[in-house]
Structure 1
């Protein structure tokens, strides 16, 4: 007897699909399945039936996850499916049952349990719950709207009535993604200057909520942190937006510039560790949607470039699938959209060995040159330590003025010490103070030029802010000013030698290293 294999739609929306023996069949969004959902790829799953073993080899191919009996499958993984298993072409959607005709030898269909309504002694054995079902069974809906303040106002969290924790998260940016201004201006003129961005927003959010996703918003809101907007007024705006969307949503507002501000992962860390009822988030099944994707000018006719890359870089930091609003709400492709790349990619940074040439056998004045945050202070400490404290650092950030630094350097040189000058020294004028001092005291003067780029130095500055290191935060204006003033140092200025020094980071622990290797800048 020849056995056949079919994939039968649970809703009978189309005829059973024949799976010939040992032939790969690829299914997805097409006329055979009658699936029109743009979230489903045309090549969503691969199926190959073995009618002799009564098994089907299943491989998920689509960008969005497929499912098997309610569980998400890993893209490009390989799974063995048996008679009666439920294949979800999209996780929790478009459910089909694998059926062999005739069924496998020894297979017995589940028998309905006959029960005498008057006989309470007959009990139906409960189905054993999966781990995920057991976790979620105890999750309670939020009974009312509530607000929380975290880290003295660094983050505010709004939880709407009806929000339930989940292992699947649908995360969205707010401005430019879910809402836009009524005025047509880039930034809202007041807390009432908003409207839902497109009609499809509420419908799509509701679909995801019905699929078991927890809907969250992650939004940078520095105007609250700098006092331009009162938090009590902004709370009314958030409550109005959630009410208009008519979907239970949990909203996270980052008001500062530290670990919570996108693209840093602080808001997501709060969600996953404290605000999801201890349910582990399935990152492969979750996603993030935002408009700050680094798209270049005219990425679509007449469109301006994106204001930043904060949203797409947050997704990269977390390993989440990312969608632009046009992708998620309209099913558009970004395959041909021109995208910017970050100016600094921290994962590409390599550790550099200490340059022994920085330490001289004779007494000298060593002048450091580089952006704030370029690694000058770290280098100065390394030189002090490796020289056995034959070098001593004079730092403008500590002493306050270059005159005080010069006086201290003169004293140390007269005592027989070598001196490291830790200040930015961007131009020939600032460096001439030190070459002149060296001439007066008849000691050689060398220059150590930090090769750290502006973007790299800004990344280091951001890292120091996040880790709450003992450094004064440096504004972007200071970085721009240094770049405009900068003149490449040469031996013609009176230096005996100019040494190029590459930045080499050191970390107190693994957590610090992990954060450093993330994208911390918004562009």
Structure 2
């Protein structure tokens, strides 16, 4: 029988019969899919916690504290998957099947082995957005193949975000929070000073043999979590730091600059609420802080809340508001009320019932409103109702039809409201991060 030429160890052959996903006579599955939310895959190969973590110098307890109460710190090497640890074997931009992969560079498995022997844990953080079930199924079946090619005895944990718009998708930090909680539950702590995130999405432009990066989500993810960031070329090949925007392009509240220095309400010399029956009309883009402003300032003073998202139509809002007003109750109309035509319905109601009408114009920049939309959907602040992510069209359509309110329309008072973040230190840290950018 003639000898069969075998491919290199870096390549997985396109087998005609099923790859041996099972070991020990086909009875034990290689790797385990852990319980996880529907939009998150959590796969483990071997158990990294079976080995006592190597203590770092930063985890040494002080003489005044009890060693038993100090969590051991573990250095973690976080990796992106595609374009960092592996790449398509057949050369295309995307893999065609579970077998279409090879190590990104022949040095990858040896580097992983070295890191494990140094006491580091290895965790993959990947975005996988293709919603086609066949593609997702092939991707799941690829994970045991990767595990089979790992150096002997080296554990690997893989997390993958499936949704295009939730807290798990990079640069959002849901996958990092999942890992942090896992370590905390075992009395361990991720050593942030020694940990690193390696990824190919750094925002690099095309230069020579280097093609343009498909994005900068890996770099933003590292920044959001306080991790040192390296490209695969730096980490595996020892190349110098490549050129890419530092800090990355994209919106963060800190880039607005003067948010905190602006007065919250303009003018601010009169009370926000009044004792008499009135209509208060909110005007502003979605996610500009209108509902929070109502809860903080108007609800405690007995104002009723009228919102079209809850009631369904403007006509129903008008009927409900009129009922409250006839009972002598003041109302807040919490809608975008973007233009003169929309606002005229409420001015006419105020005129017919002979009550005053004031407007609070929310002066939130549109980019900040889109940022707030992602923040409140993914990092629901404690004490606030969960919010669904609004489509990008909600913001572009508002901007296209927006007309600033003026007293000429018939308002008794027009006041501006500048956006001020309200929340604790941890919530503010999350709000000030780079958010996942919506495509539609």
Q: TM-score, normalised by structure 1?
A: 0.61
Whole-angstrom CA distance in 2 between matches of 1:359 and 1:505: 21
Distance in 1 (CA, whole Å) between partners of 2:160 and 2:188 is 22
Which segment drifts farther, 428-437 or 330-339? 330-339
- Candidates 244, 252, 255, aligned match of 1:344: 252
Match of 2:44 in 1: 159
- Measured after TM superposition, the shift of residue 289 of structure 1 is 1.1
2-structure distance, mates of 1:176, 1:491: 57
Partner of 1:145: 30
User: Which shifted more, 375-384 or 146-155?
Assistant: 146-155
Cα distance per residue 1:374-422 (max 9 Å; x no partner)? 2111112233245x21x32211122111111111222333333332111
**How far 1:186 sits from its partner (Å)?**
5.3
- Structure 1: gaps (5+ residues): 1-142
Cα pair distance change 1:299/1:381, threshold 3 Å: same
Residue 34 of structure 2 aligns to a residue whose secondary structure is: strand
Aligned to 2:292: 378
The answer to whether structure 1 residue 476 and structure 2 residue 392 are counterparts is: yes
Distance of 1:503 and 1:460 partners within structure 2:
11
Residue number in structure 1 paired with 2:143: 238
**Change over 3 Å in CA distance of 1:324–1:439 after alignment to 2:** farther
Residue 262 of structure 1 is matched in structure 2 by: 170
Instruction: Please give the per-residue CA displacement for 1:213-265, whole angstroms capped at 9, x wherever unaligned.
Output: 22211012233xx5645654322122223444646422111234443332333
Verify: 1:521 aligned to 2:436, yes or no.
yes
Contact kept, 8 Å, 1:289 with 1:323, in 2: the verdict is: yes
| Preserved contact between residue 263 and residue 522 of structure 1 (Cα < 8 Å) | no
Name the CA shift for 1:445/1:204 in 2 (closer, same or farther; >3 Å). same
Higher relative contact order (CA 8 A, sep 6+): 2
Superposed CA deviations along residues 36-57 of structure 1, whole A, max 9, x for unmatched, are: xxxxxxxxxxxxxxxxxxxxxx
Query: Which residue pairs with 1:176 in the alignment?
Result: 83
> Counterpart in 1 of 2:369?
457
For 2:339, which of 405, 427, 431 is the aligned residue? 427
Do the aligned partners of residues 338 and 321 (structure 1) sit closer, same or farther apart at CA in structure 2, a change above 3 Å counting?
A: closer
1:407 aligns to what? Answer: 319
Q: 1: CA distance between counterparts of 2:105 and 2:341? A: 56
Contact kept in structure 1, 2:273 and 2:298, CA below 8 Å: no
| Alignment deviations for residues 344-403 of structure 1 (CA, whole Å, 9 cap, x no partner) | 2369764975755543465432221222222111112233245x21x3221112211111
How far does the alpha carbon of each residue in 1:462-501 deviate from its partner, in whole angstroms, 9 at most, with x for none? Answer: 3333345333332233333333333333344444443221
Distance 1:292 1:454 in 2: 26
Determine whether 1:501 maps to 2:417: yes
**Deviation (angstroms), 1:319:** 1.6
Query: 1: distance between equivalents of 2:284 and 2:100?
Result: 44
Alpha-carbon separation, structure 2, partners of 1:431 and 1:437: 10
Task: Name the CA shift for 1:291/1:425 in 2 (closer, same or farther; >3 Å).
Answer: farther
CA contact (8 A) 1:147 1:156 kept: no
Say which of 192, 201, 208 aligns to 1:292. 201
Q: Return the alpha-carbon distance in structure 1 between the equivalents of residues 120 and 43 of structure 2.
A: 17
- Count of equivalent residues: 374
**SS of 2:190 mapped into structure 1:** coil
The CA deviation at 1:191 is 4.6
Task: Give 1 or 2: higher strand fraction.
Answer: 1
Structure 1 position 306, deviation (Å): 4.4
CA drift at 1:200: 4.2
3-state DSSP class of the match of 1:150? Answer: coil
Q: Structure 1 316/419 Cα, relative in aligned 2: closer, same or farther at 3 Å?
A: same
Contact 2:206/2:213 (CA < 8 Å) preserved in 1? no
8 Å Cα contact 2:129/2:161 also seen in 1 = yes
CA change 1:181–1:477 in 2 (3 A) is farther
Cα deviation code 1:21-47 (max 9, x no counterpart):
xxxxxxxxxxxxxxxxxxxxxxxxxxx
Question: Any unmatched runs of 5+ in structure 2?
Answer: 1-27, 54-73
Q: Residues 395, 336 of structure 1: CA spacing in aligned structure 2 closer, same or farther, 3 A cutoff?
A: same
Change (3 A) 1:160 1:151: closer
CA distance in structure 2 between the partners assigned to 1:415 and 1:512 by the alignment = 39
Aligned-pair distance for 1:521?
3.0
| 1:350-389 map, 5 Å | 350=260, 357-360=271-274, 363-385=277-299, 388-389=301-302
